[in-house]
Structure 1
């Protein structure tokens, strides 16, 4: 099975979250990667984070987000990062994290997180107006999508089954 390095950066190109994941396939929603229980991720050069549950990640083509789908019993079921469109390499996927996150908890509640960080970074990193508009529009659209559209309803579960 092919492994892919996932690399999130901030707008100033500083290394953010990164990890190795297993390539699971591609469908009409994008490319799916998986991480089994006991996988590891890292933010920048901070200590590694060890995961107890499996998770899969969706990398859509030409859209402004990525999505993580966590296995039970994790209370956050879906975590969407608003990002620049993913740059797909053979063994590395990179994107710029634009701060806003759309989260669906296992109890069904949905909210946008880190709006304060998004506002702060617009000034700090001088986000262009089109990036600000696209990021906000993406977050707003995702709030509806994670509640009512695939792949956020059942499709992701078939990929989780592959890495459990």
Structure 2
């Protein structure tokens, strides 16, 4: 992988919106490793993230983030007791520069709750932002296609959604 994150030290995660404004961002996450699914970062309970420049949010559970290669999504795998087990953001392809990974959040999310319920969220926001930000047709198509593919994979538990996160979560106390 070109411009892969550093082997040691904290990684930074930067989601922006299509207009370049800062969205969710995390500093100092641990690079756990890389496998056939992509690069895994970890956050123990007590880690913080921010939405834009809002005050930090402290997480009471551990989680891992997966950044696949050449895919229009990222995934968060949450340790119990959270109700949301898997949270996939539809994004542009993540780009690594040194120890920072960045991508544009395209609003749509695929979510799996602990009870097995799987659904696509924020379709209204996706429609609103298409008009506000002027998403090109190829971005709209890629986002919709990716959401459909993820809905199927997350629901069926295939690929990284079939338990690949367990070992990575254990490394951060989840």
Length-normalised TM-score, structure 1: 0.98
Aligned partners of 1:16 and 1:124: how far apart in 2? Answer: 16
Q: Measure how far apart 1:153 and its partner are.
A: 1.4
Partner in structure 1 of residue 53 of structure 2: 45
> How many residue pairs are counted as aligned between the two chains?
164
Partner in structure 1 of residue 162 of structure 2: 153
Partner in structure 1 of residue 122 of structure 2: 114
Partner in structure 2 of residue 130 of structure 1: 138
Kindly indicate whether the alpha-carbon contact (under 8 Å) linking 1:147 and 1:153 is maintained by their aligned counterparts in 2.
no
Partner SS state of residue 135, structure 1: helix
Aligned partners of 1:123 and 1:68: how far apart in 2? Answer: 28
Gaps of 5+ in 2: 1-7
The 5-angstrom pairing of residues 17-32 of structure 1 reads: 17-20=24-27, 21-32=29-40
RMSD: 0.6
Partner SS state of residue 152, structure 1: helix
Runs of 4+ in structure 1 over 4 Å off: none
Partner in structure 2 of residue 101 of structure 1: 109
Gaps of 5+ in 1: none
The 5-angstrom pairing of residues 6-21 of structure 1 reads: 6-20=13-27, 21=29
Kindly indicate whether the alpha-carbon contact (under 8 Å) linking 1:32 and 1:159 is maintained by their aligned counterparts in 2.
yes
Length-normalised TM-score, structure 2: 0.93
